[in-house]
Amino acid sequence: MDFGVLSTAGIARKAFLPGIEPTEHEVTAVASRDLERAEAFADEFGIDDCYEGYEALIEESDVDAVYIPLPNEFHAEWTKKTADAGIDVLCEKPLTVDAAEAREVVAHCEERGVTLMEGFMYLYHPRTERALELASEELEDVRSVTASFKFPLFGSPDDIRLSPDLHGGSLMDVGCYPVSLVRQVLGEPDSVYTYTNDSRGSGVDTELAGILEYHDASARIASGFDTQDVQRYRIEAANGWIEVEGAFNPSSDTYELEYEIDGRHAVETFDPVDQYRLEIEHFADCAENDRQPRTDGNEAIANMAVIDALYESAETDRAVDVDDV
């Protein structure tokens, strides 16, 4: 499968290109608003074609799929334009800025018969798959889940993750991972309550803490830009627990899964693997064989519905029913 990349964003350089390199697929086209930037990117990675403007790549290249790592504000627009050309789409998370827009984008792609996948790479890691398998098959009566993703965001105040116009904020950037993880274990929450802080006066949440309430369980999530790196989750049930450190985008080569179930304590170790490669291979397999991706449009809608409720709770300082948003 030949991919085009819309923009020379850092995640494309640091994650997507290294992830696709060992596969049988390749990036054959890249586009940027600045042609010189696209040319430099193409030279660096040995990409055949470069374009000035995203529309030019979509209209003129011969790619099978497009990877979209643009700022959140532009995901919906360029997903729909790519679908209009009959090209499959792998879009970075979050797929859209809210659930209503997600529904619109998903319907648009379905009408045009293209494969759409949201890039939650952590779900394709064997350790995540094993943790969810244990939670589903061996834990009994899961009562609580806690999940956090925080990191220190240094650099310019113009960083897109601090821009309200581009729909930045810690929840949209990294908090969406804990939301996703909780939903994989407990399903869709009944209501949520949220606390946020804008420590930099940027107009977005730089810290967020949320409670997700269920009929017979609860979850706590946290995200932020102001502390040291934290990536973990813990699942607790009547007969045991599961805990993972470095959970979503680990920087070490050690991948451990610790649990105690029915009095049996274990630490499972997983070999280093590029979860972006696994994500790309899953997407390509689904597109080529007309199958629904694990992180498809409906999954994106459900995740955004919870995120919408979390933001409404922060704005109103009250608990919010997810179905009412």
Residues carrying an active site annotation: 93
Is the previous residue joined to 94 through a cis bond, with omega within 30 degrees of 0? yes
CA distances from 173 to 40, 142, 163 (A): 27, 27, 11
Alpha carbon 8 to its chain centroid, in Å, reads 18
End-to-end CA distance of the chain: 39
- Residues 13 and 19: beta-carbon distance below 8 Å: no
213: buried, middle or exposed (CB in 10 Å: 19+, 13-18, 0-12)? middle
Task: Of 90, 71, 87, give the one whose Cα is nearest residue 33.
Answer: 71
Task: Of 64, 73, 79, give the one whose Cα is nearest residue 6.
Answer: 79
3-state secondary structure of 269: strand
